[in-house]
Structure 1
Amino acid sequence: MYDLLSGLSVIEASSFVASPSAGLYCAQMGAEVIRVDQIGGGPDFRRWPVTGNNDSLYWENLNRAKKSVALDLARPEGRELLQALVRATGQVITNFPAKGFMAHDVLAQGRPDLVTVRVMGWADGSPALDYMVNNAVGYPMMTGAGPEPVNHVLPAWDLLSGAYAAFALLAAMRRRVETGAGSEVRVPLSDVAIGTVANLGGIAEVLYERENRPRLGNAVYGLFGRDFVTADGVRTMIVVVTPRQWANLVEALGLTQAIAAVEAERGVSFAKDDGLRFTHRDALFPLFDQAVGARKHADLAAALDAGGVVHSAYRTMLDAANDRTLVADNPIFGTAENPSGFSYPAAGAFATVPQLERQAPCPAPRNGQHSEEVLADRLSLPAGEIARFIDAGIVGVA
């Protein structure tokens, strides 16, 4: 947690991953993020993984450092309160539909400088999940050995869209400072996905080649990189990105003469050309399979570390959670009083600002925990009126 965005208040009306992660990143940098949900929790409130008491560890971590307001959004009064909070605050992150009571032109009535950032599925407004978008841009057909597609378990497009939405919010707010004008910024997962494919050269590649890239298993496209198994059965990934790393890897494995023989036979030099190492992987990989397979992992790791060669053994997520460097001794982690009651390392801001003191991660709120506080502060509602809303089931409290 840092105070870089202190003084900024954002309403977040959202669920699942992309939109809540945008609010999370703002909150971790010090913004007051007020998440508005249905009383009892939105559609992601019990999403797995959950504890034995059915508390969502997913929800608990995507909503750290936020405030929670619970409203009955199925009733006109609840929707009007959400609209009023948006107008009073001036900026909102949401993945609600572009039409309806959360439409930008509806929300901007009486608040023309409103900034709305809307995370969407498809650009036409129809719904989509990360996994559908990923299928549409072709990545599952590039991974694995084939011919079956291989889905990725990481919701990459959700996370990229969330980060882009947080950036878009600040960009639109800066424009408002310069011009006084509000705006709606739409961030479709599908556009983030296909735009990223294009930024990485993928669109240009397949149109130039007039065919799809062949599946490579665990080999890295365009570089020397792949998984190898050591003598004691440790599978480890080795990737070379610089001429120095290549030279040090070849020396560490005692392959100088064998590599020279391949170069002489094929009339090439691997010293400074990533592409040639990739093109001739059919000759190189067997040599490295044999050399790595003759070394124990500890000895190999020490030799590669000494040469500055990038490598990493494959591990489980439980292994990573118990890694002191990654978690226990990592300053991005801290402890918090979690609503679930389960104590574990909680992540704060991923970035580190050496000039500022890092604050401890904050807990997620309970559903409706800040309803009374926010309605009083933001809408100046008297206590009696708030109490009537609560008694009528329009406002929920923790």
Structure 2
Amino acid sequence: MYKLLSGLSIVEVSSFVASPSAGLYCAQMGAEVIRIDDRRGGLDYKRYMLTREGRSLSWENLNRAKKSVALDLQTAEGRELAVELARVTGQVITNLPTDSFMAHDRIAAGRADLVSVRIMGWHDGRQAMDFTVNAATGYPLMTGPEEWDAKTAPPVSQILPAWDFITGAYCAFALLAGLRHRDATSEGSELRVPLGDVAIGTAFNAGAAPEMLYRGADRERIGNAIWGAFGRDFLSRDGQRFMIAVLTAKQWRATVEAFGLTEDVAALEAELGVSLADSDHWRFMHRHRLFSMFQEVAERFDYADMAARLTRAGATFERYRTMFEMAQDAELVTGNPLFGPSPANPSGFEYPAPRSFANIPGREAADPAAAPFLGEHSEQVLAERLGMASGQIAALIDRGVVGTSDKQK
């Protein structure tokens, strides 16, 4: 963690992935992020998978470095406390509906310069989740083995909720843009970010959707090959799969050298009348001939030998790993400065915890912070933010409006 956002407090009323990840990124840069949940736990509080102690590892990791306030959000009094905390704080991240008790106008009625970021489903108000917007993008119908029939083959949905995480990152950016505008003008902003728009807009930003319009049809499936360039998975003699990626002439020369195919590639260029070194286009168009040549060489070497050759030549490659392997890998995780020692996680399970993805040369990053227990900071936040006396807070706790830490539950 770095303290670049020290002094900034954000109220977060959210669940699942996109909205909590926006708050997480701000917290990892030093912001005080106060997550408000229902005192019984939000919709994602018991999200699979649970530890033996009943703690969600998903919730635990999306809420690191945050404070937790638990209120009875099924009551008018609990909802009003959430609104007042947001109003006093002045900046909010939420994925509750636009007409919910956390509506921008309701909070801004007592705070004209309120900056709120609201994650929606679709722009027209329809519900959506990562898995459903992904179905609309077209990507699942471009994914899969090359030999699959385009008309009858099933879609291949991605496992990673990528649109959620992209939306979370965009919302963190949108919040800071709103705050910068407020600093310059004293104006508040309601920034609505539909998850569906992030997905569809990204398909256009990537040039993929315009490509389909230009060609007047969809792409064919190409398996693990890289679209428009040279790259694919290859299998070594000892059964290891590894990915080769070539996007530049330098990477091409290094890969050809590592595979010992300089003369074979020159002969193919003479046969085809093209320069493979100078063009992604020709490398992609003739990928099947090239893949066959490269795979024949890969089968002659164990992966360790192949990796050594690729490294010496300066090629771009990586071995396929299971996630269980990755999580224990010395280079990727246990020896990576991104990760710090395990904090005191609510789950009681110790494992490497990531710091902010950004690092600042010359500055030491603090160790990762733990996620809170649900309601761990309820009393502290109500006292500090709303100036409530201990007796007032105790009365709210007694009536079940405010929840306290569930550490012992």
TM-score for both structures, normalised by structure 2: 0.96
Which one of 297, 305, 315 corresponds to residue 291 of structure 1? 297
Q: Deviations over 1:115-143 (max 9, x none)?
A: 01001111122221101000101110011
C-alpha distance in 2 between matches for 1:73 and 1:233: 54
Which one of 229, 234, 239 corresponds to residue 228 of structure 1? 234
1:118 aligns with 118
Amino acid of the residue matched to residue 81 of structure 1? Answer: L
C-alpha distance in 2 between matches for 1:71 and 1:287: 64
Of residues 108-117 and 345-354 in structure 1, the stretch that sits farther from structure 2 once superposed is 345-354
Amino acid of the residue matched to residue 356 of structure 1? Answer: R
1:33 aligns with 33
1:355 aligns with 362
Of residues 327-336 and 93-102 in structure 1, the stretch that sits farther from structure 2 once superposed is 327-336
C-alpha distance in 1 between matches for 2:216 and 2:185: 46
Amino acid of the residue matched to residue 63 of structure 2? Answer: N
1:301 aligns with 307
1:258 aligns with 264
Q: Deviations over 1:324-349 (max 9, x none)?
A: 12111112212200111111111111
Task: Give, in angstroms, the shift of residue 170 of structure 1.
Answer: 0.4
DSSP-derived class of the 1:110 partner: coil
CA contact (8 A) 2:258 2:315 kept: no
Alignment of 1:108-257 (within 5 A): 108-145=108-145, 146=148, 147-257=153-263
C-alpha distance in 1 between matches for 2:81 and 2:120: 23
1:274 aligns with 280
Task: Give, in angstroms, the shift of residue 203 of structure 1.
Answer: 1.7
C-alpha distance in 1 between matches for 2:377 and 2:259: 61
Which runs of 5 or more structure 2 residues have no equivalent in the other structure? none
Task: Give, in angstroms, the shift of residue 272 of structure 1.
Answer: 1.2
Q: Deviations over 1:261-295 (max 9, x none)?
A: 22122111101111110001122111111111111
C-alpha distance in 2 between matches for 1:197 and 1:223: 18
C-alpha distance in 2 between matches for 1:331 and 1:48: 28
Task: Give, in angstroms, the shift of residue 49 of structure 1.
Answer: 1.8
C-alpha distance in 2 between matches for 1:306 and 1:55: 46
CA contact (8 A) 2:97 2:103 kept: yes
Alignment of 1:33-72 (within 5 A): 33-72=33-72
Task: Give, in angstroms, the shift of residue 254 of structure 1.
Answer: 2.1
C-alpha distance in 1 between matches for 2:93 and 2:254: 49
C-alpha distance in 1 between matches for 2:103 and 2:252: 55
Of residues 350-359 and 39-48 in structure 1, the stretch that sits farther from structure 2 once superposed is 350-359
C-alpha distance in 2 between matches for 1:125 and 1:33: 27
Amino acid of the residue matched to residue 325 of structure 1? Answer: E
Amino acid of the residue matched to residue 162 of structure 1? Answer: G
DSSP-derived class of the 1:271 partner: helix
DSSP-derived class of the 2:37 partner: strand
CA contact (8 A) 2:379 2:393 kept: yes
Task: Give, in angstroms, the shift of residue 79 of structure 1.
Answer: 0.4
Report whether the alignment pairs 1:85 with 2:91. no
Q: Percent identity?
A: 57
C-alpha distance in 1 between matches for 2:375 and 2:360: 32
1:394 aligns with 401
Runs of at least 4 residues of structure 1 off by over 4 A? none
TM-score for both structures, normalised by structure 1: 0.98
C-alpha distance in 2 between matches for 1:305 and 1:137: 37
Q: Deviations over 1:350-389 (max 9, x none)?
A: 1111132210111101111000000011011111111111
Amino acid of the residue matched to residue 244 of structure 1? Answer: K
Task: Give, in angstroms, the shift of residue 251 of structure 1.
Answer: 2.2
